Amino acid sequence: GDSVTQMEGPVTLSEEAFLTINCTYTATGYPSLFWYVQYPGEGLQLLLKATKADDKGSNKGFEATYRKETTSFHLEKGSVQVSDSAVYFCALKTQGGSEKLVFGKGTKLTVNP
Protein backbone atom coordinates (compact mmCIF):
# COMPACT_ATOMS: atom_id res chain seq x y z
CA GLY A 1 0.00 0.00 0.00
CA ASP A 2 0.88 3.65 -0.12
CA SER A 3 3.31 4.87 2.51
CA VAL A 4 5.45 7.83 3.53
CA THR A 5 8.78 7.63 5.31
CA GLN A 6 10.24 10.75 6.85
CA MET A 7 13.28 11.30 8.96
CA GLU A 8 12.48 10.93 12.59
CA GLY A 9 13.47 13.54 15.05
CA PRO A 10 13.69 15.26 17.16
CA VAL A 11 15.73 17.81 15.26
CA THR A 12 17.30 20.66 17.20
CA LEU A 13 18.85 23.62 15.39
CA SER A 14 20.12 27.06 16.22
CA GLU A 15 18.40 30.10 14.76
CA GLU A 16 19.47 30.86 11.17
CA ALA A 17 20.65 27.29 10.55
CA PHE A 18 19.76 25.40 7.37
CA LEU A 19 16.97 22.84 7.67
CA THR A 20 16.37 19.66 5.71
CA ILE A 21 13.73 17.10 6.63
CA ASN A 22 13.83 14.09 4.35
CA CYS A 23 10.66 12.49 3.02
CA THR A 24 10.31 9.56 0.61
CA TYR A 25 7.15 7.85 -0.53
CA THR A 26 5.79 4.66 -2.04
CA ALA A 27 2.61 4.96 -4.05
CA THR A 28 0.79 3.57 -7.05
CA GLY A 29 0.28 6.11 -9.76
CA TYR A 30 1.24 9.74 -9.35
CA PRO A 31 0.31 11.12 -5.96
CA SER A 32 0.00 14.70 -4.80
CA LEU A 33 2.49 15.49 -2.04
CA PHE A 34 2.09 17.74 0.99
CA TRP A 35 3.89 19.10 3.99
CA TYR A 36 1.73 19.88 7.00
CA VAL A 37 2.92 21.68 10.14
CA GLN A 38 1.52 21.47 13.65
CA TYR A 39 2.45 24.31 16.00
CA PRO A 40 2.08 23.67 19.73
CA GLY A 41 -1.56 23.54 20.79
CA GLU A 42 -2.88 23.89 17.25
CA GLY A 43 -4.19 21.69 14.46
CA LEU A 44 -2.29 20.67 11.36
CA GLN A 45 -1.88 23.41 8.78
CA LEU A 46 -0.98 22.91 5.16
CA LEU A 47 2.51 24.33 4.65
CA LEU A 48 3.04 23.56 0.96
CA LYS A 49 2.11 21.09 -1.73
CA ALA A 50 3.08 19.80 -5.18
CA THR A 51 0.82 17.90 -7.53
CA LYS A 52 3.15 16.64 -10.27
CA ALA A 53 6.75 15.72 -10.89
CA ASP A 54 9.31 18.57 -10.75
CA ASP A 55 6.79 20.94 -9.15
CA LYS A 56 8.22 23.01 -6.32
CA GLY A 57 5.98 23.97 -3.45
CA SER A 58 6.99 26.96 -1.35
CA ASN A 59 5.61 28.95 1.56
CA LYS A 60 7.02 30.99 4.47
CA GLY A 61 10.57 30.39 3.25
CA PHE A 62 10.11 26.61 3.11
CA GLU A 63 10.51 24.70 -0.16
CA ALA A 64 10.08 21.14 -1.37
CA THR A 65 10.48 19.70 -4.86
CA TYR A 66 8.54 16.69 -6.13
CA ARG A 67 11.21 14.26 -7.36
CA LYS A 68 9.63 11.33 -9.18
CA GLU A 69 12.93 9.63 -9.97
CA THR A 70 13.89 9.41 -6.30
CA THR A 71 10.29 9.34 -4.98
CA SER A 72 11.19 12.14 -2.60
CA PHE A 73 9.76 15.44 -1.34
CA HIS A 74 12.37 16.82 1.06
CA LEU A 75 11.53 19.95 3.03
CA GLU A 76 14.16 22.71 3.18
CA LYS A 77 14.54 26.16 4.66
CA GLY A 78 17.63 28.26 4.37
CA SER A 79 17.43 30.03 7.71
CA VAL A 80 15.14 28.79 10.46
CA GLN A 81 13.61 30.94 13.17
CA VAL A 82 12.49 30.13 16.70
CA SER A 83 8.90 30.47 15.48
CA ASP A 84 9.45 27.50 13.12
CA SER A 85 9.55 25.15 16.10
CA ALA A 86 6.77 22.65 15.39
CA VAL A 87 6.06 19.12 14.20
CA TYR A 88 6.28 18.65 10.43
CA PHE A 89 4.37 15.93 8.59
CA CYS A 90 4.93 14.74 5.05
CA ALA A 91 1.83 13.30 3.35
CA LEU A 92 0.51 12.04 0.04
CA LYS A 93 -2.83 11.66 -1.67
CA THR A 94 -3.17 9.22 -4.53
CA GLN A 95 -4.56 10.70 -7.71
CA GLY A 96 -7.98 9.45 -8.68
CA GLY A 97 -8.29 7.19 -5.72
CA SER A 98 -9.43 7.65 -2.17
CA GLU A 99 -9.37 11.17 -0.82
CA LYS A 100 -7.51 10.09 2.28
CA LEU A 101 -4.12 11.51 3.19
CA VAL A 102 -1.32 9.09 4.02
CA PHE A 103 1.10 10.58 6.54
CA GLY A 104 4.63 10.01 7.72
CA LYS A 105 5.36 9.79 11.44
CA GLY A 106 6.20 13.45 11.83
CA THR A 107 9.44 15.25 12.70
CA LYS A 108 9.63 17.49 15.72
CA LEU A 109 11.78 20.56 15.12
CA THR A 110 13.08 22.77 17.91
CA VAL A 111 14.89 25.97 17.03
CA ASN A 112 16.93 27.59 19.79
CA PRO A 113 17.78 31.31 19.87
Partner 1 sequence: EAGVTQFPSHSVIEKGQTVTLRCDPISGHDNLYWYRRVMGKEIKFLLHFVKESKQDESGMPNNRFLAERTGGTYSTLKVQPAELEDSGVYFCASSQDLRSGEQFFGPGTRLTVL
Contact residues for partner 1, defined by CB under 8 A: 4, 32, 34, 36, 41-46, 49, 51, 89, 91, 93, 98-106
Residue closer to partner 1 by CB (options 41, 113) is 41
Residue closer to partner 1 by CB (options 8, 16) is 8
Does residue 10 have a cis peptide bond before it, meaning omega lies within 30 degrees of 0? yes
**Degrees (nearest 5) of the Cα angle 35, 41, 45?**
25
- Which of 24, 14, 32, 2 is closest to 85 using CA atoms? 14
Q: How far is the CB of 38 from partner 1 (least distance, A)?
A: 8
Q: How far is the CB of 74 from partner 1 (least distance, A)?
A: 18
CB neighbour class for 66 (10 Å; exposed up to 12, middle 13-18, buried from 19): buried
Residue closer to partner 1 by CB (options 70, 98) is 98
Q: How far is the CB of 65 from partner 1 (least distance, A)?
A: 18
Residue closer to partner 1 by CB (options 60, 105) is 105
Q: How far is the CB of 93 from partner 1 (least distance, A)?
A: 5
Q: Please list, in sequence order, all residues whose beta carbon lies within 8 angstroms of the beta carbon of residue 48, skipping any fewer than 6 positions away.
A: 34, 35, 57, 58, 59, 62, 63, 64
